[in-house]
Chains A and B, each alone.
Chain A
Amino acid sequence: MRTFRTIVTTALVGASVGAVSPSHAEDINNQIQQLDQKVRILERKLEIADENAKAAAEKTPVAKADASGFSFAAPDKSFEIKFRGLIQQDARFWFNDDENPQSDTFLLRRVRPTIEGTVGKNGEFRFTPEFAGSSTTLLDAYTGYKFSDAVRLRAGKFKSPLGLERLQSGSDIRFIERAHPTSLAPNRDVGLQLSGDLVKDVLTYEAGVFNGVVDGGSADSDISDDKDFVGRLFATPFKTTDIDALRGLGLGIAGSIGKEEGSGTTTGLASYRTPGQVRVFSYLTSTNAADNVLADGDRTRIAPQLTYYYGPLGVIGEYIVSSQEVRKDDQTTTLDNDAWQIATTYVLTGEENSFRGINPARPFDLAKGQWGAFELAARYSELNVDDQTFPTYANPNRSVAGIQSWALGLNWYLTRNLRSSLTYEQSAFDGGAAKGADREDEEILFARFQVSF
């Protein structure tokens, strides 16, 4: 700009001096000087405006709206609030349900707005209600503080750190319903948790004290004085190495220990459901207190777990054994129920698979001939109820002793935020029908349309 100005000035002065009288030349020279000042002033004003804009940007909150949600943040992110959401519209179609008729139905499976954010650089909070179902419930509500990458404190209601698939976000699970091990893992619980990286990118931990909940359960308060201690170690030992085929391998072990004492109003024991969410196992209950089965002592869970991701391939596997001392009148015993699953998924369109879901490389756009990402999924899963349970603690003609389920799924990720899924799942049962017969197989086709951000 300055070079241009100098050339123009020189040219004009030169031309004018050579072509006109001295007084006229002086006038022209003055005009050029004035123009030169005007240009300089305009340049300086732009410079100042630029400086002011930069200074203002340092103080102006940043509003963001993108695939990860909507947020407002201080320029240095020390204060931030994010609005996120998950809506799942499901359909369930039952086949071969003559003996145990079920209604084909559309339903809202998850409707969860979330407000989360940071307060100061290290404080965090999250609030998530659940609007799906017959009543509104408080799903997550916690506050936390990050002392360092190795020490993060969280207090409130959130997922207890035990079941692998339970810890996977509801928006990222690959089948419409989670597998049987999740039936034995605690869901949301209220307590205090420390977590962090023991070795960055290699070993993480979670350790907490919670009220304690029944298998698969959530609660807002405790039914007894005793508390559950829950811990989990998860390693990705090759994540930082150059061994491509092993970088996505994760191995973990989780466990919990606590006590539970049931009462006449709350037994402290769980019931178990099929993939179609039909209750097929429950302990005996009666209006006669002596016939009620109650939790009565130690409750422990152990859960080894595995994940593996390599390119478009993904595998998760987990096993959980849940042991609970129970009592019926004057009879007591410890019942060990266990469950396991192995599931694999493959992204047909080649995107990188991960525990946190798929980000389509070519988001759905008909005009551009893009269809998003497609993923195939297959799973086998079992739940086994302790043999000692029958007939003292559960009715073998109404409660199953085992479930074996296999499932096939197809997931269509239109965009990072929109997903459509189909899952066919078939379950066979041990017992659970009259005269000791096996309950009729459950065959169900699930469909889902999901929006998450």
Chain B
Amino acid sequence: MKHTIKKTLTVLTAALLAVSATAKDITILNVSYDPTREFYDEFNQVFAAKWKAETGENVTIKQSHGGAGKQARAVIDGLQADVVTLALAYDIDAIAEKARLIPKEWQSRLPDNSSPYVSTIVFLVRKGNPKGIKDWGDLVKPGVSVITPNPKTSGGARWNYLAAWAYELGRNGGDQAGAQEFIRKLYKNVPVLDSGARGSTTTFVQRGIGDVFLSWENEAYLAIKEFGDDYEVVFPSVSILAEPPVTVIDKVVDKRGTRAVAEAYLNFLYSEEGQELAAKHFYRPRLASVAAKHKQRFPDINLITIDDVFGGWQEAQATHFNDGGTFDQIYGK
């Protein structure tokens, strides 16, 4: 009998040790948009090392990238994301509204509207800028071929579209019909609609199509970093303040028991180390001290906001990108 008890205790202890050992290996999934691949590749490694040092736990961060709208739909359809780091708030709002995986007030939970870094839209042109493209107005000229993804599936493309609309509104004194006509002409010059920003980079850089690529600032610098002197960045007279937001997916982290690590992961984006990494990958840091350090890399340009010009993402989405919205009217013609 004694032997039996002893054996049982040994087995139980071994089992508990085994369970404890496995409990220290955590995996979380970050569902993000197209151009953040390289940034999160490095950020994840740095965070995992930090988390290990602080808690002793091994954390593996898996990444999923694609057009922001498609990514949001995947989460709504059941993709078990612990955190999402998407291109625009509207797509995360959709996760709150359609799947109810997060509270509606998700954006107020972290500083700066839950956008730890910002970016903007710039023009990437071929070396020497052979078509002389300097501002949005040049994009509607005959013979200019413009590369931008599909705003129905890409968050970046929606920023492009709205930046162009805002430019024309500013130029023509607020004439919405004129802005719509301007956008129609612009998309007439778009030969290929990719589903995401990374696909458009492929189209412009690797397939050699088009004269100008409407690009995330970080994606443009990344292309130059990879392909050197073949391209130039052009800053238009006005662009848009793009605030890619982040949040934990509450129902997933609570079910998987990963809330602590998921929250720490996002908070680390706001730390000086996280902000430095963002700047390194050409995202504009929020933290003033880090932003000041990288001022030369990110020139000051006139940045309009979604709230100021379009009344927020909900209104912009409904007017321009929902089925039957202005984009459908323009592109359907």
Contacts and interface: CB of A to CB of B under 8 A. Distances in A.
Interface string A5-43: 000000000000000000000000000000001001101
A51 to B, nearest CB: 8
A40 B199 contact: no
Interface in B198-213: 199, 203, 207-209
A41 B195 contact: no
A41 B191 contact: yes
8 contacts: A37-B145, A37-B209, A40-B207, A40-B209, A41-B209, A44-B207, A44-B209, A47-B207
Given A37-B209, A41-B209, A43-B207, A48 B145 contact: no
A40 B145 CA distance: 12
B192 interface: yes
Interface string B198-233: 010001000111000000000000000000000000
B276 interface: no
Contacts of B192: 41, 44-45, 48
Interface of B: 145, 191-195, 199, 203, 207-209
A52 interface: yes
A40 B195 CA distance: 18
A37 B195 CA distance: 20
Contacts of A37: 145, 191, 209
A45 B150 CA distance: 13
Residue of A44, A47, A51 with highest tally of chain B CB at under 10 A? A44
B75 to A, nearest CB: 15
B148 to A, nearest CB: 14
Instruction: Please give me the 5 A-B residue pairs with the lowest Cβ-Cβ distance, nearest first.
Output: A41-B191, A40-B209, A44-B207, A44-B192, A44-B203
B30 to A, nearest CB: 21
B66 to A, nearest CB: 10
A40 B205 CA distance: 12
A48 B194 contact: yes
A45 B195 CA distance: 12
A40 B192 CA distance: 10
A318 B312 CA distance: 78
Contacts of B193: 48
A68 B199 CA distance: 41
Contacts of A43: 207
A45 B199 CA distance: 11
Contacts, number: 23
Nearest to B203: A44
A44 B203 CA distance: 7
Nearest to B143: A34
Contacts of B203: 44
Contacts of B207: 40, 43-44, 47
Nearest to A41: B191
A40 B191 CA distance: 10
Nearest to B192: A44
A272 to B, nearest CB: 53
A45 B191 CA distance: 9
A445 to B, nearest CB: 59
B55 to A, nearest CB: 34
Nearest to B150: A48
Contacts of A52: 195
Nearest to A43: B207
Contacts of B145: 37
Centre residue among B145, B192, B194, B195 by max chain A CB count within 10 A: B192
A73 to B, nearest CB: 18
Contacts of B208: 40
Nearest to A39: B209
Given A40-B209, A41-B192, A43-B207, 20 more contacts: A37-B145, A37-B191, A37-B209, A40-B207, A40-B208, A41-B191, A41-B209, A44-B192, A44-B203, A44-B207, A44-B209, A45-B192, A47-B207, A48-B192, A48-B193, A48-B194, A48-B195, A48-B199, A51-B199, A52-B195
A51 B192 CA distance: 14
Contacts of A48: 192-195, 199
A278 B248 CA distance: 72
B153 to A, nearest CB: 10
A58 B193 CA distance: 21
Interface in A37-94: 37, 40-41, 43-45, 47-48, 51-52
A37 B204 CA distance: 11
Interface centre among A37, A43, A52 (most CB of B within 10 A): A37
Nearest to B194: A48
Contacts of B199: 48, 51
A44 B204 CA distance: 10
A41 B194 CA distance: 12
A110 to B, nearest CB: 42
A40 B207 CA distance: 7
B180 to A, nearest CB: 25
Contacts of A51: 199
B57 to A, nearest CB: 30
Nearest to B210: A37
Nearest to A34: B143
A48 B203 CA distance: 10
B104 to A, nearest CB: 28
Contacts of A40: 207-209
A47 B200 CA distance: 12
Contacts of A44: 192, 203, 207, 209
B133 to A, nearest CB: 16
A324 to B, nearest CB: 43
A52 B192 CA distance: 13
A35 to B, nearest CB: 13
A51 B208 CA distance: 19
B200 to A, nearest CB: 10
A37 B192 CA distance: 11
A244 to B, nearest CB: 44
B280 to A, nearest CB: 30
A79 to B, nearest CB: 13
A48 B154 CA distance: 15
Contacts of A45: 192
A52 B199 CA distance: 12
A33 to B, nearest CB: 10
Contacts of B194: 48
Nearest to A47: B207
A219 to B, nearest CB: 42
